[in-house]
Amino acid sequence: MTDGTKKCGPCNLCCKVMEIPELAKPPGALCQHVRTGEGCGIYGSRPSSCRVFVCQWLLNPDLSHKYRPDQTKVILTVDGDPQRQRLVANCDPANPLAWKREPIYGLLKRRAELKWSAGATVVAKAGTRLWLITPGEDIDLGDVHPRAQFTIQQATAGGKVTVTVLPPSDADQLA
């Protein structure tokens, strides 16, 4: 949870959108332990992937109620090292293009504009579908393995961005 300034309230979108490997719950399926209006039925003994999950709406006091995941159908998370963190807009698979709607889209574009030169990226994800959001364009990367890496090359003339998706290593695929 957070320092107590924000609460999930009626939102339980993370219990649908995020994968919970320990429960064999795939992304996009509602967790069997969700209790409508009550939250998690196994909160005290929830799996480690749930314990380490951090919803950026809960964490960031600057994100108003209009950004709450059940309002936008997008859960904002971050991954990567602190210097080059990637902001991830995890979309409800029932609303795969929710990231393109306001107010989320404006937030994602502003973040891309602010952090791009520092090497931080912004992506939107719905199931295995992935989009890279750059200051100048949004690039549909198609279906991407969750453990795949990608390289980004920016041409100096015109700022065109080229992305190469690299398949995960054999060890990554087995993990």
Tens digits of residue pLDDT in 32-84: 999 987 889 999 999 999 999 999 999 999 999 999 999 999 999 998 766 67
Record the pTM: 0.87
**Residue 141, by phi and psi: left (phi above 0), alpha (psi -120 to 50) or beta?**
alpha
**Which pLDDT score, from 0 to 100, does residue 159 have?**
66
- pLDDT (tens digit per residue) in 125-166: 998 899 999 998 999 998 988 778 878 887 555 667 888 888
Residues paired with 123 in a beta bridge = 88, 132
**Which pLDDT score, from 0 to 100, does residue 156 have?**
54
Q: Residue 133, class by beta-carbon neighbours within 10 Å (0-12 exposed, 13-18 middle, 19+ buried)?
A: buried
Q: Does pLDDT of 5 surpass 90?
A: no
What phi, psi does 137 have (nearest 5°)? -160, 165
Cβ–Cβ < 8 Å for 72, 91: no
Cis peptide before 103 (omega within 30 of 0): yes
From residue 170, how far is each of 3, 19, 24, 147, 148 by CA, in Å? Answer: 40, 21, 21, 10, 11
**Which pLDDT score, from 0 to 100, does residue 173 have?**
47
